[in-house]
Amino acid sequence: MKAVNGLMNNDNPKKPMVLSFHGRTGTGKNLACELIVKNIYKEGMDSRFVHYFNSELHFPLVYQFETYKSQLQHWLRGNVTNCARSMFIFDEMDTMHADVMDGIKPFMDNQNKLDGVSYSNAIFIFLSNNGSTFITQTTLDSLKAGKEREKLKLKDIETDLSLFIYHGVRIVKVNSLTNDNEFFFEKSCEVFAGGESNAVDFFIPFLPLERQHIVKCVLAEMEATGHKPDHNKACDMADEIVLYFPKDEGGFARFGCKMIAGRLEFFL
């Protein structure tokens, strides 16, 4: 909120705002993105100034990356020319080929104009599952140490997360998530690894959801679909439909709130 408000209140920003959202499936990355869009653009996600890309859908073929790069650059230039406050959302970044990303990196850097067009008022948001294991492990370690998740600060996670995501540093920990003593290596995101421009302003970790959050998701979905919110039924659904891990503790929802909307009617 501070980052977005800062941009909207800045009449002369030095560069575009670039946010990178990281976390497990169903933890709210798309929801947060939609809330930002809704509060900036009158027509929300339907605004012609908001442009959504899904890497698996829009950039599926590795051998076509040169074509994708050219198309993206043309798309960015044209849309920012039409509206300086354009927003570009890139989903499933962990599946995007790094060479495609190379085509838009120059547009996110700190510069006055590029080919006569200023991109400093544009907004880029990247959504990725990359780093989710590290985020989950960090959250679990914090809970085991007696620190409530609400007490976690961005600085507690962002530095290590950005090192891992952006500079290709691999985090190695004892993998208590699988109840054994194996070490894990989580692959760094090729899109940002090895970069030197530090174009991303904020790496935002989305923490894994606990049962209490799933219950709230169910209640919200009940209300959104015209059902009277029922806390007892919401608790039952949170226990029966959702899988939790680690097995011995049952702390986090494996798929977050992802399946709630699709299964609510069936459950009721």
Residues 33-44 have a mean pLDDT of: 94
For the chain, what is the mean pLDDT?
84
CA 131, 3, 126, 244 torsion-angle sign: positive
**What is the number of other CB atoms lying within 10 angstroms of the CB of residue 81?**
13
Residues of the chain with pLDDT > 70, as a percent, come to: 85
Which of 152-156, 214-218, 251-255 tops mean pLDDT? Answer: 214-218
Most confident of 9-13, 32-36, 54-58, 111-115: 32-36
CATH class of 1-208: alpha beta
What is the predicted pLDDT for the residue at 181?
38
Alpha-carbon torsion, ordered 107, 12, 52, 254, to 10 deg: 100
Q: How far apart are CA 126 and CA 118, in angstroms?
A: 20
Rounded CA-CA distance 13/232 in Å is: 49
Quote the pLDDT of residue 1: 84
Question: Per-residue pLDDT tens for 91-119?
Answer: 988 888 777 887 888 888 767 788 888 89
Find the length of the chain.
268
Domain locations along the chain: 1-208, 211-267
Distances from the Cα of 147 to the Cα of 133, 143, 152, 165, 247, angstroms:
19, 5, 8, 25, 21
**How far, in Å, CA of 122 to CA of 146, rounded?**
41
Strands 172-174 and 183-185: what pairing?
Answer: antiparallel
Mean pLDDT, residues 119-134 taken together: 90
Q: Smallest Cα–Cα separation from 207: which of 141, 262, 259, 135? A: 135
Are 87 and 8 in contact, with CB atoms under 8 Å apart?
no
Report the interhelical angle of 132-144 vs 154-167 (nearest 10°): 150
Q: What is the pLDDT of residue 63?
A: 82
Q: What are phi and psi of 36, to 5 degrees?
A: -60, -45
Its pTM surpasses 0.75: yes
Q: How many CB atoms lie within 10 A of CB 194?
A: 11
pLDDT at 228 over 80: yes
pLDDT tens digits, one per residue of 153-198: 888 888 777 776 655 544 444 445 544 433 344 444 545 554 445 6
Q: What pLDDT does residue 182 have? A: 38
